[in-house]
Amino acid sequence: MTMQTCPAAAAGAWKLGDLTVNRIGFGAMRLTGSAAFDSGAPADPGRAIGVLRRAVELGVNHIDTAAYYFSKQLSANELIRRALAPYTDDLVIATKVWPSRDPSGEWHWAAPEELRGQVEANLRELGRDHLDVVNLRIPPSRRTGSIAEHFGALAELRDAGLIRHLGISNATPGHLAEARNIAPVVCVQNSFGIGAPAGERELLRSCGERGIAFVPFFAIAGAGREAGRVAAEDESVLAVARAHGASPAQVRLAWTLRQGPHVLAIPGTGDPAHLAENVAAGALRLSGEEVALLGS
């Protein structure tokens, strides 16, 4: 597939360890239409499966998911399996552990010895014999605490062959340093987008210097987070969008990708039209002046 027929390749590629992925990926959170992660889209398995298959047709080969992405009707992992198994060799599926949800939606944070069960749940749901990338999703209560026991437990599962590569999510520079002393880290997955604080911008730059992928979530939603964008759009974003005949969401994605060649986008949607729009954002080229206007 050439770049002309592979829109997701327009922004280039990066490596998660030894796994090469296009920089425009796909986040599975909004597929389920769950109450916890409300996409505003109907919980329609046929529609969700169609979106996943279309993403791959567009050249997406990096999908971000989690066992706790589910609603009463749908599970993101099971949708991925139904849509895409048997998986192609170039498809990279990344998941997250530490938090989980019971059927009622109540949250639970796993003890280190419980992480194997979470990894095995992802394996069963996805129909895999190993996981490409597992991110340790750090709880807010550990922003200043140690993650050594939990990351060490994942490193043992990596040594056992259940996991190929490890990452961390919702992390600080201290977490990254601690994790790297235990095992290689291929990615940091944090909330990031236009208006991100200086500390997050510095962490992004630090990852690039170390060859570590930085994977922003909520790059489009910003402060809206799980609910999507709820506030009025920033005028500078609107101005750049008008200049390019693009949507504000595309401008936000293009700006995020412009932050470094190691930045991987994982926008999520349950809408086929929004999927095509998000993937097309990889071809949007912002000028230096526009990047500065939006916040360098």
> Which run of H or of E encompasses 254?
helix 248-257
76: tokens are: 């993101």
Task: Name 91's bridge partners.
Answer: none
CB 150 within 8 A of CB 98: yes
Using a 10 angstrom Cβ sphere, with 0-12 exposed, 13-18 middle and 19 or more buried, the burial of residue 121 is middle
Task: Give SS3 for 23.
Answer: coil
Q: Could you tell me the CA-to-CA distances from 210 to 23, 37, 214 in Å, in that order? A: 17, 33, 11
DSSP 41-52: S---HHHHHHHH
Residue from 14, 69, 151, 217 carrying the catalytic annotation: 69
* Annotated catalytic residue 68: no
Residues involved in catalysis: 69
